[in-house]
Amino acid sequence: MPDLTRRDLFKTGAAVAAARAAPAVEAEPAKAISGIAASPQPEIRERLKFDFGWKFHLGHAGDPAKDFGYGRNLDSFAKAGFNIAACAMLDFDDAGWAAVDLPHDWAMELPYMPPKHPPPSGAANSDDPAAGHGYKPLGRDWPENSVGWYRRVFEIPQGDRGKRIAVEFDGVFRDAAVTINGYLIARNQSGYASFCADLTDFLDYGGKNVLCVRVDATLGEGWFYEGAGIYRHVWLTKTDALHVPQWGTFVHSDIVDGAAELTIETDVRNDGMTARNFALAWQIFDPAGRVVAQATTPTASIGSLSSRTLVRRVRLENPALWSLETPQLYRLVSRVIDAGRAVDDYAVDFGLRTVRFDPEKGFFLNGRPVKLNGTCNHQDHAGVGTAVPDRLQYWRVERLKEFGCNATRMAHNPPAPELLDACDRLGMLVVDETRRMSSDPESLDELSRMLKRDRNHPSIILWSIGNEEPQQGTERGARIAASIVARVRELDPTRPLCAAINDPAAWESAYARLLDVVGANYLTGFIRPFHRRNPQRTIIGTETGSTVATRGIYRRDPASGYCVAYDTEHPWWANTAEEWLRVVAPAPYIAGGFVWTGFDYHGEPTPFNRWPNTVSQFGVMDLCGFPKDNYYYYKAWWRPEPLLHLFPHWNWTPGETVCVWCHSNLDAVELFVNGESHGVRKVPRFGHAEWNVTFAPGVIEARGYQNGVTVATDRRETAGPAARVVLAADRTEIDADGEDVCVVAATVTDAQGRMVPDAGHRISFELSGPGKIVGVGNGDPRSVEPERTPVRSAFNGLCSAIVQADRRAGEIVVRAVASGLVGDAITVSAKRTAVRPFVP
């Protein structure tokens, strides 16, 4: 292959970008104006939520008779609109189908099942493929569960004739076939790639229409839980034939001498049959909603069924920069003007910041060094699987930030758009990763869609083009990577890119030399010698610590399927938290590291890939977001405030020797058992304090010292018998919009309010008022209880429920009831709010 260096590819990308921009209409520089109190004008285009009122039914991957005739007729694809499937037609009776709202993950509604073909006794843990997806009965062995059909009947008014009408899918897992009124109009393979289908030609105006989507989750794309169904949002858009297409605006900037030099690229599409004359007007709104710049292009022409790209350059003085502490966002509104009338508008949020990686000094945000204290995360959560409500996306980011995490790597696929919105608004840095590292047309198209969709998000600091690829050290891999890198440079020449590589030899390969940042998966001990040999290369730990731990477990018993919660156990390829942080944190040339993982996740149940282990144990938090003890280890070293966390609990057998740990960032910690000192331990940098003591019922207490002064204490008391359930919600007021949620935690306590550390009572959640329970969980990695019911056993004293409001205002009362325990109730107010426009 040609010797393409990273600089060559930067030039290639710039050349492609220049060629793409060549036919653009370039106007005078936009006029920056003093802040004028304003807000974006009402939207001209309609973008309607298309999530409510669907019908769902399982099909069949192997029997056409049970799959509504799909594929039975050999002429199904011979004549458009004919013989696709009975349920794709408007007159089909779907009275027996289940009513569902989107997002929807039907795998969560399936029972956990042992594998039909278990690996032979004595085989390695990784030999059970059914474990990867968490023992949900999907795939080739379960054709009766692996296909789902969605139907939605809706009306299009006669007045919409002449508009362009499309449906946008943020994510469908997997292999989606989209029909409208019996016409097959779109296919999409990947469950992670957003896509759009134009409905315009196939609609009945002034009448009813039926949108039908067949989803085939037989084949997977990952070795982790992936769910099944239309698990992200769906939107119906209505525009003029002359309009800005989906993802048609790109705003990028340079910060020079305290001013922001913006480049705005806007695509305009004419889907009409005649040429049009148009102008494009831009307005930029600052974080306070004031207009700070505006401009209009000269009138230009555009041919029928064609596109143009228009470029504008804007200078903003004293811009408000996006940062971790102040994640400020601007908004650009582009309006298409025809004969003096605005016929379309398109709004996009963006942020102004600088990003730089230095091979000696690490990562810089806005010129300030920032150590990337990151976690990798899959996209599922207890109770809801991959169909994560928007508010829960924010809740998860908030939980990460609480222990000092400032960056998240999307593992291993493009995320839901709302998760990126949460990172933008809350101040969380992002490594955005494509799902499939290949240069075939389908893979490059999926990559392009990710880039176009996500490139305006200021939170994204790196594109990742691969993860532990088998081709990562090969000449073929370098050829493939070169094509991918060229596409990235073409569509976003502003951001660096990386790949996660788990072979130190491949860090120095032709493949790695194409990257701006080398991503090291584990093997942190090899980073220092790599840096000595390659001082000009920038490196980051894309996966670092992989402690496996079970919340609340402190006795080691591999036969139990649980891991201890001390920072002591990890797979052979990985490191504990202390091991990796001691290497990465003090080294300025390592930009940072990403823990595998922030949350436990369904599937890949390492280290016990055997039934009934259904959940990974890698998380700093469990599947519900309850902290494990390592949460406090990271909080101690990633946050500045003094911290002291003492564990384990204090319920043991009298006379038993107990290993007591304390995570702290203080100088020293002293341990007391029932008032008697067991000595002072210095806390090593990035380490912990530890004692072995004999259990006696009562109290253990840790006192943390800084410069000889007590600045923090923590204690654990012996709990008595379980007596009650105590409820707490993360928020007691939510929006009555049919979407908003709160997370309700249930704790089993004794009569004095102390959590009972081994409580496993079965708790029933009862709800009254304008809402519903959409999922439950407890963080037990071996649990096979259903997650879409209002009943859940506590695990080591805790479980949780996710409560969602409907569109009625009022008081939602959640009660917890358990046999032999005093129950509890809390009230969550669902307040009236403006509802996002939706398809009725």
Catalytically active residues are 468, 543
Closest C-alpha among 508, 516, 513, 511 to residue 488 = 516
What is the rounded CA–CA span in Å between residue 713 and residue 703? 5
Which token pair is 618?
């890698």
Q: Is the dihedral of CA 689, 693, 697, 703 positive or negative?
A: negative
Amino acid present at 339: A
Tokens 């989209």 found at: 178
Q: CA 55, 57, 59, 65 torsion: positive or negative?
A: negative
Residue partners of 305: CB distance under 8 A and separation at least 6: 270, 271, 272, 273
Amino acid at 767: L
3-state secondary structure of 315: strand
Distance CA 698, CA 674 (A): 6
Helices (H) and strands (E) in the chain, counts: 10, 48
Determine how many CB atoms are found less than 10 A away from the CB of residue 275: 12
DSSP secondary structure string for all residues of 533-599: H-TT-EEEEEE-B-----TT--S--GGGT---SSTT---TT-B-HHHHHHHHTT-TTEEEEEEE-SB
Neighbours of 253 (CB within 10 A): 23
Side by side, which strands form the sheet with 657-664?
644-647, 657-664, 689-694
Alpha-carbon gap, residue 406 to 416, rounded angstroms: 19
Strand 362-365 to 429-433 pairing? unpaired
d(CA 47, CA 235) in angstroms, rounded, equals 6
CA–CA gap between residue 201 and residue 17 (Å, rounded): 33
Would you state the torsion angle of the CA atoms of residues 721, 724, 730, 736, taken in this order, to the nearest 10 degrees?
160
Q: How far is CA 322 from the centre of its chain?
A: 20
Secondary structure of 772-835 in HEC code, one letter for each residue: EEEEEECCCCCCCCCCCCCEEECECCEEEEEEEECCCCEEEEEEEECCCCECEEEEEEEECCCC
DSSP 596-661: E-SB--BB--TT--STT--B----SB-TTS-B-HHHHHHHHHHSSS--EEEES-S---TT-EEEEE
- With H, G, I as helix, E, B as strand and everything else as coil, classify residue 46: strand
